[in-house]
Amino acid sequence: MATSDGAIPIGNEPGDAVVRSSVDLGAAVRQQRKRLSLNQLDIAGLGNTGNRFIVDLEKGKPTVQLQKVLDVLDLLGLELVVRRKTPPAL
């Protein structure tokens, strides 16, 4: 069952989610940023990137630069894990 932000929770940890689109990833970034009580300008400054990049990432823009995304995830204490898909339940 999806959360209010559309993410599909997984695992036992709050905030764990399956990301299936750039919009899902943006929602996860926004949720963690808010959980840490940071604003977009804080993340832009700490991540040495422009505020526009953070806005675009959180909006789910599909053409953002991957390394910058990974840097922001690390800054927020998040990590990207790639694994095989779980077969759908019948």
Over the stretch 8-66, which tens digit does the pLDDT of each residue have? 444 446 668 889 999 999 999 999 999 999 999 999 999 999 999 999 999 999 999 99
pTM of the model: 0.80
**Residue/partner pairs of 27-32 with CB below 8 Å, 24 or more apart:** 27/58, 27/60, 28/78, 29/57, 29/58, 29/72, 29/73, 29/76, 29/78, 30/5, 30/58, 31/5, 31/7, 32/76, 32/77, 32/78
CATH says 8-75 is which class?
mainly alpha
